[in-house]
Structure 1
Amino acid sequence: MSQPGWYPDPYGTGGLRWWDGRTWTERLNPESDRPPRPRPARRERPPAREDAGTPYAAQHAQHPQHTQHPQQASWDHAPSFQGLDVKVRGLHLYADEQGVAYGNASLTWPRVEWVAYWAAERPAGSGHLAGTQWIFQAGRFPFRGGPRVEVVVEPDAVPGRDGEPEHVWGRLIQLCQEHAEQRLVAELAGRVRAGDSVDVAQGLTVHPGGVRGNRVSLSWSSISGAVVDRGRVWIRQASSSSPILYVPQQNPNAVLIPALLAQLNG
């Protein structure tokens, strides 16, 4: 990703973050302050079939998609996120509008029930220097036993000139946001509107009256929104400039909280 511009935020705020041509900056452009973007027209394709003996990536091996830079976001034209077809740590990573596969693990986006992604600092160890790890996970419940796809991208994990690790990680997130997260947020919001209390991110309960977690309970009128910062999803109280409640970003579906609260508290 070499062209500076506004791109969907890989840190899960639900808005846009400025890419300066080398790294993600602190500049944000929240989607909630903009009119909805039109969805691009799609050519209908039959749904992919998951098969334990035929990984999702292998089903498409004869028709690889070359990775390209995502188009700069515009409110007049939705960005088109091209698929991924790269090697990460020697294993084939494939993702497109139908699903994601890495090695022998695969899931189609309609079957994904939880997502998580975050950046972590890797300490120096045997054979490697200190650096950043970019982690992406998508799976089905139960969280600690259900099927999942997990990709850990490190500076030396993706060979070739198109192997910027943060670019690969960001592309995975973009595909996930478009083809899984919108559905997950809508499903969770629908359950809450129907009167259910929903456990989100293993630490936050969202219910018709508001949210509660970590011995803190907030009504909808007292919530001003949520932001992702330094590996945590912070919920802000309307009467205070400081966040009052947080959930670790690596928890399942924690990255959905800003969009979910915006939808329920709009």
Structure 2
Amino acid sequence: MSQPGWYPDPYGTGSLRWWDGRIWTERLNPEPDRPPRLRPPRPEAPPAREVAGTAYAAPHARRATWEHAPSVQCLDLNLRGVHLYADEQGVAFGNASLTWPQVEWVAYWAAERAAGSGHRPGTQWIFQAGRFPFRGGPRVEVVIEPDAVPGRDREPEHVWGRLIRLCQDHAEQRLVTELAGRVRSGDSVDVAQGLTVHPGGVRGNRVSLSWSSISGAVVDRGRVWIQQASSSSPILYVPQQNPNAVLIPALLAQLKH
């Protein structure tokens, strides 16, 4: 995608976001209802370093569509001596590896690390992908710290963003389609721990919502919030680090159509 214009927001707000031909800007049309999308952990920092004219920093929320997205180059680098490689086939970090067709759950989030054990406080960018959600199956976990790739401004978040984009393009679309198909066929599906999606709607944390009462879901402040159609305030949330929690906005959007 090289032409400037309004495109479906890759951060999952449900609005259109302005692509200036180089990066996604902060301009939305129309402005979304609260809560807004989760902001980058360090909003005061300069924009992320670019690779091949594309910005990958802080893709915290699910994309509403997988169309109109710039292609993503493979990752091939060392993080503190551990080799990370990811491309359109799969992801490998150290001795752990999975192909994208094997992946059954994903999770990614930014976390603040407290000072201690010889390190300073700072942000960690975490990515996980695995098999058999909730049953302790094999997985790949990548934890990227501020000094993991020295000498490049904000490069850790940039690497994290590229890894997420590869996962979105080559695993998440399939996962959402499969989960939606199961619900449409009459199954009740546990999507993230504590949230069940079923043919009549969703339930979790002693709250049950029918499809007609749900307006959508957004990722904000480390949580995936499910919003009621009759209220501007979300009523149900799932922590973002739960397996497949980041799929909820796209899954609900697909099932409501």
Range of TM-score over shorter length: 0.7 to 0.9
Opposite residue 187 of structure 2, the aligned amino acid is D
List gaps (5 residues or longer) in structure 1: 31-66
Match of 1:145 in 2: 136
**Kept in 1: contact 2:224–2:239 (CA 8 A):** yes
TM superposition score normalised by structure 1: 0.74
Distance 1:203 1:76, change over 3 A: closer
Question: Counterpart in 1 of 2:51?
Answer: 68
Distance 2:137 2:109 in 1: 20
Matching of residues 4-153 of structure 1 within 5 Å: 8-9=10-11, 68-69=51-52, 71=54, 78-153=69-144
In structure 2, list runs of 5 or more residues that go unmatched. Answer: 31-49, 57-65
2:112 and 2:124 in contact (8 A); partners too: yes
Deviations 1:94-140 (A, max 9, x none): 00000000000000001000000000100111211111010000000
Q: Which secondary structure state, in structure 2, belongs to the residue aligned with residue 239 of structure 1?
A: coil
How many pairs were matched up? 221
Tell me if structure 1 keeps the 8 A contact 2:104–2:133: no
TM norm structure 2: 0.77
Secondary structure class of the residue paired with 2:92: strand
Match of 1:230 among 197, 221, 232: 221
Indicate if the aligned counterparts of 2:187 and 2:198 stay in contact, CA closer than 8 A. yes
Instruction: Render the CA deviation track for 1:145-195: whole Å, top value 9, x for unaligned.
Output: 211000000101123438710000000100000000000000000000000
CA RMSD of aligned residues (A): 3.1
Percent sequence identity is 85
1:262 aligns with 2:226: no
Range 175-184 or range 134-143, more displaced: 134-143
Q: Counterparts of 1:19 and 1:77 in 2: how far apart (Å)?
A: 10
The structure-2 alpha-carbon separation of the partners of 1:115 and 1:177, relative to structure 1 and needing over 3 Å to count, comes to same
What is the aligned counterpart of 2:175 among 181, 184, 197? Answer: 184
Q: Does 1 or 2 have the higher relative contact order (CA < 8 Å, sep 6+)? A: 2
The one-letter amino acid of 1:192's match is V
